[in-house]
Each structure stands twice: as structure tokens, then as C-alpha cells.
Structure 1
Amino acid sequence: MSQAMERHFALIRMLADGQFHSGEAIAEHLGVTRAAVWKALRRTADQFDLEIESVRGRGYRLPVPLELLDREAILAAMSGRARAGLTRLEIQDQIDSTSAYLMREAALGMPSGVACLAERQTAGRGRRGRVWVSPFGVNLYLSLLWRFPLAPAALGGMSLAVGAVIADLLRSEGIEDLSLKWPNDLLWRRRKLAGLLLEVSGESQGPSHLVIGLGINLRMQPTQGASIEQPWASIEEAMPELSRCRNVLAGRLLEALVSALERYGREGLSPFIDLWRRFDRLHGEPVRLILGDRVIQGTHAGIAADGSLILETPEGRVPFQAGEVSLRAQES
């Protein structure tokens, strides 16, 4: 990491508490002259899209404190069994993509059970090559590497299993009006709250490795999410008090993921199907399926035992596999 970038992060960590810090204290903390403080503040604010407030006689602060990622706080929110399921927990200030990083390292032999979280992603990814907007310090960007003796094809239902357990966890935390949009979007009041990206690699008959990428909008502001091309929501809207527990939520999410991965390895998709269906609020609604250049209209008729989407069309019921289609509710 460059010296300039280290200085940015040192300044952010100092200001994260939301308290006023004098220019003199900032200069001493950064090892710069008093005259260089304002320039350092401006550069950091611009680089990381942060609002820094200046009050004469009091100093500088972030108007909204940041709960920065804390490895020990995350682990403390997990049970001993879940912690034992993790080989390593990495926290990055900035990374291109937590999932891309784990996929690269998996190819070099990284062991199963490594989790990576980042304050910011510079090349966050969604499904079908879309960008995942990843501003600094206000959301959760989390990826987990897991190895299976199974063939890659046997992991085809994993996105539904993971989506179901994440929705169920947030419901247990008190968030209502959650729904799942096949195959892997989590919605709150029909606006996107979280997304999953699952990447699998391995031998045709096994073994294989899987990287689960999870992005959850926690406290993202409208200006930060202005480039998102679909309606979105945040945990702060759905349950404000939970949005202020970033590390605790990260720990509970990791626990849910470890448990789901272990169970899927033993039992496959079947124990997750009914849970997914409880959050399937589009069931029975008219929908459009986008399949390459084709648009198929019909009625969402639920999911099959293998996780396929069933669409009721004039030609009858037709199954579609995850990874091939994108689902959109028809406009009224």
C-alpha cells in the first residue's frame, strides 16, 4: 500500500468516532505539518466520498460516525462452533473485489473456510457482469471460500440455500417485509437490500471450491447509490438500530453461512427449499424472464426441488435454471 493510501486510512480511523479532532492533533497523528492538514482532509474526503465537517475552534469530524470493521468484534459475535469452521478471517481496508481475491487465492491452494471482508471494493461485482456499488465503510462486502468433495454441478442450488438462510437471519433480527427474488436477490419492500454472487470451480466429478460473495446495503446514502439502476433499500431504513451493529451483523452472517455450507455438504438443497419458499413473495405473480435476447412472459409458479424456477406459460410449465435468467416483476 502506498504511503498516501496509508495516510488516508490513518485519518479515517482517527475521525471514525465522529468526535471533533483539532488540526494540531491530526497533524501529529499523520506526521505532517499543520499547513498540510486541510489538503490531507480534502484528499481523503474526495478519495473516499466522505463528508468531513469543519468548525472553527473545535476542529474536524465526520458528522456520521463510522463503525469500521473489527476482526475481534466479528469473531466475538460468532459461536465457538462457527469460529472453528473458519480457517482465517481477513479484513481489508480496500480491495478490488473480496470474491475475486478469494477465487485467485483458491486457485493457488488457499484452504477452505477463509472469509474476507472489506471496507471498500474498487471493482465489486454482481451477477451477469454488473458492478456492485461499494462505498467506503457503510455497507457489508463479505466473501467466504469453501471446498467440497462434490462436483461443481452438485452446488447448483447453493444460491437458493444461502439466500434463504440470510433472509431468515435478518427476519430473526426483526426485519419484516423481506422477500427473495430468484435466484439470489434479497428484497425489502420490493427494493434490493442484498445480493449474492456464487462462483464455483473444480473438476467435473469433484472436488470443487465455491466462493460466496455477499453484499448488503447497510447505511448507504442516496448520493452514494445514485448509479444503481434498480430500486434499492438499506438496513438503516428497514431497522435503524441493526444498521449500527455492523460488526455484530457481520459475525452473525458468517455464522449463518458456515452452518448452511456445512449442512448443504451433508444434505444438499432439500432442507432449504421450504425456507426459501417462505420468502417467495413473487409466487403467483405475472413476471418477465430475460433469457439472453429473449423475454419470456408468464406466471411465477414457484421453484422445483432442484431449485429451478417454474414459469407458467401458454405452452405449459417450463423450468429455468439459475444462472441463465433474470427475473423481473412485470410493471402494472
Structure 2
Amino acid sequence: MSVRQLPQTLALQRQLIQQLADGKTHSGEALAQQAGISRAAIAKHISQLQQIGLEIFAISGKGYRLAQPLQLLDVTQMKQWQAPGSPEVLLQHLTDSTNTQLLKRLQDGQSLQKGQVIVAEAQSAGRGRRGNDWYSPFGSNLYFSIYWRLEQGIQAAMGLSLVVGIAIAKLLERRYQCPLKLKWPNDLYVNHKKLGGVLVELAGQTHADCDVVIGIGLNIQMPTGGESKINQPFTDLMQEVNSQIDRNQLVAELQHQLIQTLKHFEVYGFTDFISEFNQRNEFAEQTVQLTGGSEPQIGVCKGVDHQGGLILQQGGQLKSYFGGELSLRVKQ
């Protein structure tokens, strides 16, 4: 596919998704007439949409329909929910990674406003910690990245992923009465299953201004078959709450919550967030194992210290551990 064809293809596919979003059955002939292409071309586009995670059923003799109605992200609707003066939200149909897109803008010398957000309907190269893939099916979840700048330098980012987790937890608790737990250093849990994760990426110097890109992946309504793509127990908001999830409202409210939380973090640092993390600590008082360092560390999880380090009780002593390569697991 040529570069010239790509935007036209994406526009046509978005048109198809908008037509199918009501969850009703649409004939291939009607879709072809509306798009001005052949039924064979429609079938090809449907196949491509299925490959990016859309559950579309092909019903012999009738046409196509989505497994369930779909609410598309819409910048106009987001603006209705945004707090006054909020930076704009950029929306992409399909991208490699929302974090990558913000980092690319920084590398290209673009000036970004603190609180600038990019969201996408799907990611082809979504990332988790330690280079792990992040399963990003179309229109099912929230793929969200926000830009921030820390004038105090990289050292001021200690504990930042935990602060972001707390901000998300407070919003979901307030909006949906959904009690979140946090797994150090960056995972969101509900009922002992993973709901989402945070990926903080930094660009700057130790004692100079530091650009920060914060990526958030949040499961909203995972499609059937997600189990085959994810290697751990997971859940989504639709399973956990008794209300409909408006993704456009959620994007706007998450942006506002993060801006307010990050402003507080800039002034007071991580100290003000210690008790909030410890109240939501998924593995509080459990014997856990830290892996990824030179050797596994086993101890009782006692929460976090004033820098966001994980405190383990080992042999009667309390020790703090840091480092982006550490992963936390319950000791079996």
C-alpha cells in the first residue's frame, strides 16, 4: 500500500466503522454503494478491520455486523466534557503507539503544552514495561498519552508512575465506584485482575528540564478472544461497574485529573502520595518476589518509601528497592 493510499484507506475504514457502530446488520451491497467501491473491496476492508481487533461477524446472505455496538472516540464530544482551558486532545484512528507519537513530536522540535493528550482507537505497536507488547484492539479500550514537563529534572520523577496510578484510581472510584488496587510500580488491579497499566518515558537531563510522556492503557470492554493475547488474569471496566462507560467523557476527565495531580506532585513531591498508595497496595503484607535484578529478592511487601521505592521486610530489616527492570510477583 502506498503512502498516498493510506490516508484514503483509513478514512474509508473509519466510514465503515461508523456505519457498523450501531451493532445492526448492514449488507455488503449497501456498504459498497455508500463507499463507492465493490463488495469485494468491502470484504477486504472488513478483513483488515478484524485484524486490528474489531469483532465483525460476516453473516451469509445478510451482511456484516459488530459483535456489539461501538462508541467511537470523538474530539467534539470530548470538548464538551473538558475543563475550561484544557489543552486539546489529539485523536488518531490507528497509530503505532500514543507514547511514540508524543515522543516523536518532541524529537521533531514541536512545542507541546503541559497536559497535551493523544488518544487512539487502536495501536499497532503498543508498549508496556520492559518492552512488552500491549494488546490494543480497536475501539475496545483506552490508549492515552499525556505530556508533562518537570523543571526539577529527571530526579523529580521518582514515584511518578505510582502518582499516575493514584490519579486514575481516584477518578474511577469517584466516577464509577470502582475500587482500584495498585501493583508496584505501574499496574492497576480490580478484584486481583489487571485493569490497566502506566508507562512513563523521560527525555532530559538529571538537573535540567525533563520532558515526560505518560502512557496509560485501560481496559474498557475487551473483545472475545483477548485471553489468547494476554498472559495474565485481566478484567475490564464493563465487567466491574454497573453503568455505561462514555470513553469521550473518560478521556476528558482523565486529562483533568492528571493535570491537577501532576501540579500537586510538582510542588510537594511523592511524600504526599505515600499513604494513598499504601491504602491501595495490591500486595500489602504478602510475601512477594522481586525479579529482574541480579538475583530475586523475597520479602513481605510493606508499601513504598518517600521516593516511591518498594519496601520489603527481609530478615527483620526493611529494605527499599528501585529500578524500572523489577517486576513484582506473589511468592508461591
Match of 2:80 in 1: 76
Match of 2:3 in 1: none
Match of 1:102 in 2: 102
Determine if the alignment matches structure 1 residue 144 to structure 2 residue 140: no
- In structure 2, the CA distance between the partners of 1:182 and 1:42, relative to structure 1 (3 Å rule), is closer
2:22 to 6, 9, 17: 17
Q: 1: distance between equivalents of 2:276 and 2:211?
A: 25
| CA RMSD between the two structures | 2.0
Q: What secondary structure sits across from 2:214 in the alignment? A: strand
Pairwise mapping of residues 216-235 of structure 1 onto structure 2 (< 5 A)? Answer: 216-235=218-237
Preserved contact between residue 146 and residue 214 of structure 2 (Cα < 8 Å) = yes
Per the TM alignment, residue 288 of structure 1 is displaced from its structure 2 partner at its CA by 0.6
Preserved contact between residue 53 and residue 63 of structure 1 (Cα < 8 Å) = no
Determine if the alignment matches structure 1 residue 317 to structure 2 residue 322: no
Q: 1: distance between equivalents of 2:314 and 2:43?
A: 62
Match of 2:59 in 1: 54
Match of 1:165 in 2: 167
More off after superposition, 32-41 vs 63-72: 32-41
Q: What secondary structure sits across from 2:289 in the alignment? A: strand
Q: 2: distance between equivalents of 1:38 and 1:201?
A: 43
When the two structures are superposed, what TM-score results if normalisation uses the length of structure 1? 0.91
Give a deviation string over 1:43-97, Cα, whole Å, max 9, x none. 433454422343746x4321301111111222322322xxx242x3110001110
- In structure 2, the CA distance between the partners of 1:322 and 1:165, relative to structure 1 (3 Å rule), is farther
Give the unaligned 5+ runs of structure 2: 1-5
When the two structures are superposed, what TM-score results if normalisation uses the length of structure 2? 0.91
Per the TM alignment, residue 315 of structure 1 is displaced from its structure 2 partner at its CA by 6.4
Preserved contact between residue 183 and residue 322 of structure 1 (Cα < 8 Å) = no
Question: Matched residues, percent identical?
Answer: 34
Amino acid at match of 2:105: E
Match of 2:130 in 1: 128
Preserved contact between residue 29 and residue 39 of structure 2 (Cα < 8 Å) = yes
Determine if the alignment matches structure 1 residue 301 to structure 2 residue 302: yes
Q: 2: distance between equivalents of 1:163 and 1:46?
A: 31
Q: What secondary structure sits across from 2:302 in the alignment? A: strand
Give a deviation string over 1:247-284, Cα, whole Å, max 9, x none. 11122111111111122122222222222222114221
Per the TM alignment, residue 312 of structure 1 is displaced from its structure 2 partner at its CA by 0.6
Determine if the alignment matches structure 1 residue 261 to structure 2 residue 259: no
- In structure 2, the CA distance between the partners of 1:46 and 1:134, relative to structure 1 (3 Å rule), is closer
Give the unaligned 5+ runs of structure 1: none
Pairwise mapping of residues 164-313 of structure 1 onto structure 2 (< 5 A)? Answer: 164-242=166-244, 244-313=245-314
Give a deviation string over 1:174-221, Cα, whole Å, max 9, x none. 344421111111101111101000011112211111000000011013
Amino acid at match of 1:28: Q
Corresponding pairs, count: 325
Q: 1: distance between equivalents of 2:302 and 2:49?
A: 50
Q: 2: distance between equivalents of 1:98 and 1:241?
A: 27
More off after superposition, 25-34 vs 154-163: 25-34
- In structure 2, the CA distance between the partners of 1:324 and 1:317, relative to structure 1 (3 Å rule), is farther
Amino acid at match of 1:258: I
Q: 2: distance between equivalents of 1:126 and 1:27?
A: 38
